[in-house]
Structure formats: C-alpha cells, structure tokens
Structure 1
C-alpha cells in the first residue's frame, strides 16, 4: 500500500511539473522521433514550429518541439536556466511522449545543450544533428569581434565600443549580449539574398499565432550566467567523445552564417565527417527558414 501511494505521489508530482513545459508533437508517433532543441538563453521554438515542424513530420518523422523551462511559452519564475535543468526538461519530454530513444536536432545555443545531453545520456540518443549550432563559444565571440574591427576600422566610436566589449568579463551575460548585438549590426544573422520562398515563410510566420507567442524572457541569460558555471564552452572534445561512443553526428550550417569562422566549420567537418556535414549556400543562422527545402532534404537523408 505504501509503495502504491509513493508511486501515485510520484506520478502526481510529474504531472504538476509537466505543466511548466510547453511541448507539441507533429506526425505519426510510430515514425522515428525527432526532438528539436531551440536556441537561447531567452529563445523558444516558435519559428521552427511555425515554419518547419509539420513539414519535417510530413517527411516521415515524429517531430517534438518544446520551450525550455522559464523560456518562451514554458513560464516558470523559479527556473534556474542551468544545464541540469535543461536535461530535466529533455528527460521530461522523453517521459511525456514515451520515447526510449530519439534523434536530437539542435539549433544555435540548443547545440550546447544537445551535445552535453547526448554525452551524458547516450542511451537516449539515436543521432545528434547540429543545425547552425554553437560548439566553441569563445571562438565565435572572437570571430564576431575580429570581423567587427575590420568592418568598422575607420569608425573610432565603433572601435572604442569593440574595445570595451573585449575588456568585459568573458563569462558574463553582458559580454555575450554585446557580442551578438555587434553581430546583428553586421547582419550576421540575415540571409544575403532572400528568396521568394523564404519571404513567404517569414510573412506567414509573422502573421500567425506562433509569432504572437514569440515570448522572450530577457531574464533568462542573466539567470543562466548567475547559476551555470559552465557558460563559455568549447565542446570539441565532447563531440569527439560522442563519436567514440558510436552515436552518429551530423552538422548543417548556413554558408553565410557570420558568427562562425571558416576554421570553426572545418574543425566541425573533420569531427562529424565530410559525408555528414553540409554547408548551404545563400543561407544564414535560421537555415530552416532561409533554405527550408535544402535543410529538410539533408535531415531526411541523414536520419533514415
């Protein structure tokens, strides 16, 4: 009787806790499961969900999207934003959808979470795909600032600002924020030549319910840097360890994603293998919108 009570209490607590996490599944649950991990901190899955989730499901996958605790539609004032908490959220997704093993599709900062999760829980991951994902954070920041110095070499005010950023604590939320602000000013997140298809996707997204739910918790990065000591990582060794464990690694990046250097992408290609790596032309950070057909083609071919 006591053990039954404990089980019921445990299930009740899981149910209560699960209410904090927004998630939705697309497609037939009998198909291979794919869990999408969004960027951040302060991100959400609305752009992927509103443009791409159903289309990937139509390719024969069971696609699950979710917003991490305290981010997007998963409101939680007590969220700590740590990797431990992110792993708990992911494990909750596995539990909620009764999935023993899944393909992980990780975008931007989600790549850090997906990589660490895969290394810690290899038995739960079929494959890991990095899509415009961070893996060597300081190299990314250094690359952004180096490009900015070149671009603004005749602008003393901008050079002064870059120097100020370089002197900030590199393990701080403000350093990360200002690096990405500079990247945005350089149009590093923008598609060079928007296609008619990408314009339609953006327009439909911005006119729909997902854009209305594009909630950004500005406290998320601050909480993350306050609570998570591992906040400026180089996951090169971790990716190599994952490969040694026999988990297939894939990487798909926009050729015009300005936050990554050629050296970084070559390093990643050497880790995952030439056949498992793809650069998409006329494509930046949000590759599943910029070049959706090419993106879906890569995912469909690699996860079969």
Structure 2
C-alpha cells in the first residue's frame, strides 16, 4: 500500500485514550484540597459529584472527584483493578490539579484506598476521612447473614432462608460469597436509613432526577470487584492495624458513619471510635451508608474539624 495513503487512513481512525481518567474539580484551587474516593469496587463518583461536591466547594474547599480506572466514566479495557494501580492514579490526579497535599475522603471501599495511600504517601495527605468505610468485611458478612436470617424467619420466607443456607455453605473468602451477601443486604435495605430527614428526601429526589445520575448513578462495572478481589483479596482485609499505622505517621484520621448503616455491626464503629482521637469520630442517627446525603449539614460541620494546614 502507498505509504501516503496508509498515513491518511490512520488519520481517519478515531483516537481513544484509554489512559484518561474522568476527573472534575470544584472551587478555588487556593483553598484546601479534598480528593473524593468513591465506593464499590465498580461504582463511580456521580452521586457525590452531583449532590455534595459543589456545595462543599462553597464551604471553602477545592474539591476533586474522579472515577477510578476502568470504573464509571474512566473507561479502560486494560485496567488491572489493583490497589497499586489505584494509588498511582490517585497520585496522577493530584499532580494533574497541581495539588501537593490533600484530604482524602474515602467513601465505603474508597476508605481502604485512602488508608493504603496515606500509609505509603503520608507527605501528600492532610487527613483521611473514612465515610462508611469497611473495617472488617468478613465480620460484616456474618453480620449481614445473621440480620437477613432474622428477617426471613420473621416473614416465614422459606425461599430466601434456603438461599441463605446455600450462601453459608460457600467459601467465605470467595467473591461469589461476598456478592451474594451484598445482594441480600441491598434487598433488605441495609444501605438506607428507614427514616430519612425531609431535607435528605429532597436531596435524593433532586439526585435521581439529574441527567448525569440517570446515566451513571446505578452503573456498575462488574470487572472491578473481581479484579480487586483477585489482586488484593480486599474482602479479607481488616483495617484496624492500617489505621494505627497511618496515625503513627502523624496523618489525622476521622470516621463518619450512619447509625442506620446495617452493613457493619455497631461493635466495629465502637472499635474505630476507640482508636481515633476524641472528637474524630461521628455516628449520626437518621443516616445510612450515604452519609453526605443523609446528614449533609452535619457532614459539612465535620469537614470544619479537618486540619487547615
């Protein structure tokens, strides 16, 4: 083939940059930086980006959000889905926005990433804020099963009791076991508060009506949990020692949880509270897994506790 014709044809092929992450920033770059790490694995930052990030920026913060590689709007067919890859991308996002040090807001699974990054790069972390983050998932799975069994027995739901029995026969460290536990938790409303405030209800109504949430709000990337499980066995992690290590590196750690978040036993929140300095732990009523929507005003108040330096 004529080389000039070949070059012309190549120019007509659309270029897809698989390495590009979806990122967005809100507020004044001169203000203290907050990097939001979304949950999952397999989810995205849409709910926080729409409901909370712009308002948090108005409180005097420079708020950066992004979807992890291969998740949500950060399409990458070559994503590894590993903690090491996620940490490298976190560093790249901070560099992209010329941020040398940031508060890490780790929601759910994002809390694991925040702690891992803070242990490795304490000089880049102003604080870690654990927002409904898992502390011992294997214990949490047993907690979910026990709650579901009580619910199904009360309803005389023999079908789901049978499925629960089959679940308990699975290998507890398998991804299938974790997936079914989360499925039963979702089915029984463990993520949500049964008694949301009127303000929270208004926020949820506005959120689900937002076009970006309609497109991405419930979009899940199935490869992500499989990859993080394969590469890092994240469902077997216990976070208490990691929290101690981060604190030893002089990085402040905060915990923000909902009393109605039934994914985790109350004893986990109590253990975390005992680990953290006084005033660094908050657990709110009428609040489920999505703290920054369920109790947004209290969430903003908690942000005022973060160190300013």
TM-score, normalising length: structure 1: 0.90
Give unmatched runs, 5+ long, in structure 1. 1-15
> Which residue of 2 is the match for residue 56 of structure 1?
56
**How far apart are the structure 2 equivalents of 1:228 and 1:262?**
26
Residue 246 and residue 286 in structure 1: after superposition, are their counterparts in 2 closer, same or farther (change >3 A)? Answer: same
* Aligned match for 1:271, one of 268, 275, 287: 275
Structure 1 contact 47–210 (Cα < 8 Å) conserved: no
CA deviation after TM superposition for structure 1 residue 75, in Å: 0.5
Structure 2 contact 18–75 (Cα < 8 Å) conserved: no
> Which residue of 1 is the match for residue 10 of structure 2?
none
**How far apart are the structure 1 equivalents of 2:302 and 2:257?**
11
> Which residue of 1 is the match for residue 216 of structure 2?
213
> Which residue of 1 is the match for residue 134 of structure 2?
134
Q: Deviations over 1:90-127 (max 9, x none)?
A: 01111101111111110011111111111111111110
**How far apart are the structure 1 equivalents of 2:144 and 2:85?**
29
Q: Pick which of 127-136 and 222-231 moved more.
A: 222-231
CA deviation after TM superposition for structure 1 residue 195, in Å: 2.3
Root-mean-square deviation (Å): 1.7
Q: Deviations over 1:66-97 (max 9, x none)?
A: 00000011011111111111111101111101
> Which residue of 1 is the match for residue 179 of structure 2?
177
Q: Pick which of 285-294 and 204-213 moved more.
A: 204-213
> Which residue of 1 is the match for residue 110 of structure 2?
110
Give unmatched runs, 5+ long, in structure 2. 1-15
Q: Deviations over 1:197-233 (max 9, x none)?
A: 1122112222223202333212222232233344420
- Tell me the secondary structure at the aligned position of residue 301 of structure 1: coil
Structure 2 contact 80–227 (Cα < 8 Å) conserved: yes
CA deviation after TM superposition for structure 1 residue 171, in Å: 2.6
**How far apart are the structure 1 equivalents of 2:41 and 2:224?**
6
CA deviation after TM superposition for structure 1 residue 18, in Å: 8.4
Structure 1 contact 35–103 (Cα < 8 Å) conserved: yes
Structure 2 contact 44–216 (Cα < 8 Å) conserved: no
- Which aligned runs of 4 or more in structure 1 are off by greater than 4 angstroms? 16-19
TM-score, normalising length: structure 2: 0.89
> Which residue of 2 is the match for residue 161 of structure 1?
163
Residue 65 and residue 237 in structure 1: after superposition, are their counterparts in 2 closer, same or farther (change >3 A)? Answer: same
Q: Deviations over 1:251-298 (max 9, x none)?
A: 010111001111100000011133111011100001111111111111
Residue 152 and residue 213 in structure 1: after superposition, are their counterparts in 2 closer, same or farther (change >3 A)? Answer: closer
> Which residue of 2 is the match for residue 11 of structure 1?
none
**How far apart are the structure 2 equivalents of 1:167 and 1:91?**
41
Q: Give the total of aligned pairs.
A: 289
**How far apart are the structure 1 equivalents of 2:82 and 2:233?**
9
CA deviation after TM superposition for structure 1 residue 152, in Å: 2.0
Equivalent positions of 1:225-240 (< 5 A) are 225-240=229-244
Residue 119 and residue 224 in structure 1: after superposition, are their counterparts in 2 closer, same or farther (change >3 A)? Answer: same
**How far apart are the structure 2 equivalents of 1:281 and 1:231?**
27
CA deviation after TM superposition for structure 1 residue 164, in Å: 1.6
Residue 281 (1) aligns with residue 290 (2): no
CA deviation after TM superposition for structure 1 residue 247, in Å: 1.0
Structure 2 contact 19–76 (Cα < 8 Å) conserved: no
Structure 2 contact 33–63 (Cα < 8 Å) conserved: yes
- Tell me the secondary structure at the aligned position of residue 126 of structure 1: strand
Residue 57 and residue 272 in structure 1: after superposition, are their counterparts in 2 closer, same or farther (change >3 A)? Answer: same
Residue 82 (1) aligns with residue 86 (2): no
